[in-house]
Structure 1
């Protein structure tokens, strides 16, 4: 409260002969976590339900089958080019054929014009929140700069099952380990709506989001 307002209210209370009431206690019993463990079946099912509700495409796959899945998804686009952060696992891309792979890094970033000409992007993730259907990227080398996950029209995001937590507070605690990193919070493909509630996708980010949930 400003000094002027405090002074004015004090004079009013004095004139009325009343004392300032004691401030009411505000309950602060916020949830610090969920009842289900990270990566549990309940948490994974909830994440899938939320993502699909947001019109994301979810693919549950083993680590051994991930390269084949990525090749299949990019073939469906169809993608002639894909951008990946320089720290992504090379084995993920081992099954790609007839796809130009462009690597992006902070030291050698692709321009916005170059990214706009690329069909898809493949990244990892830092954490996923089941209750909100949100995937968070924190700029680590396997997730890359924010621009690469915002400009191409198709985003394929690889999330390990052990990265899935139930609640936002759990995710925030994990992200707090590296507070200086830029965060990108993704809840489904980019979408907005006009005053008549007509949904439009791809306005300020990827039109299509594929999530590879790897166990």
Structure 2
């Protein structure tokens, strides 16, 4: 692949994978927690919380990126705090990972929540009558039965992170080697004469990665389901 892609193209592919992997890893625990809370807990402001979680799906990505820039930019409150700790993320690949994680988070929560809601609550109630704590019930009953949905949500979040463009370019710009992900690189190549060939190569790579992720999610989800049914 390195011979087929130029150095700048390969950089964009490698950075996109790095950003998507970290975005998925960092957001998954929060997605599981939020999904469980929305599926099983009753609390005041639940509908508002649900709306906030899914807001990135409705807002234009540029708006999300601009809000991130206001909060975590160099002059933003979050940005100043992170800079003081030596953890500045504006115009860094870590900022791209944050933007990708936020944009993919609603998709993760939606898939995981539906899977948790499909778990028979009578099984959780039975575990409770045997003296299991809420954490034990979640870890030994709910989460294992919801694994196919967790896997689906993880893949959806990863795929969204790989394809994220609007929020990323608004928040961290389009700096080759630092913040230029696959979508940003494709956009850049399409802006220069003769860049269509390089852009098409990256489009093909994007399709291959997306299809591979979807196929793997289907394979793993079926294996998990078969194991559960055979248990």
Same fold (TM over 0.5): no
User: TM-score of the superposition, structure 2-length normalised?
Assistant: 0.21
Q: Which structure exhibits the higher relative contact order, with contacts defined as CA atoms closer than 8 Å and separated by 6 or more residues?
A: 2
Q: Which has the larger radius of gyration?
A: 1
Q: Looking at secondary structure, tell me which structure has more helix per residue.
A: 2
TM-score (normalizing by structure 1)? 0.22
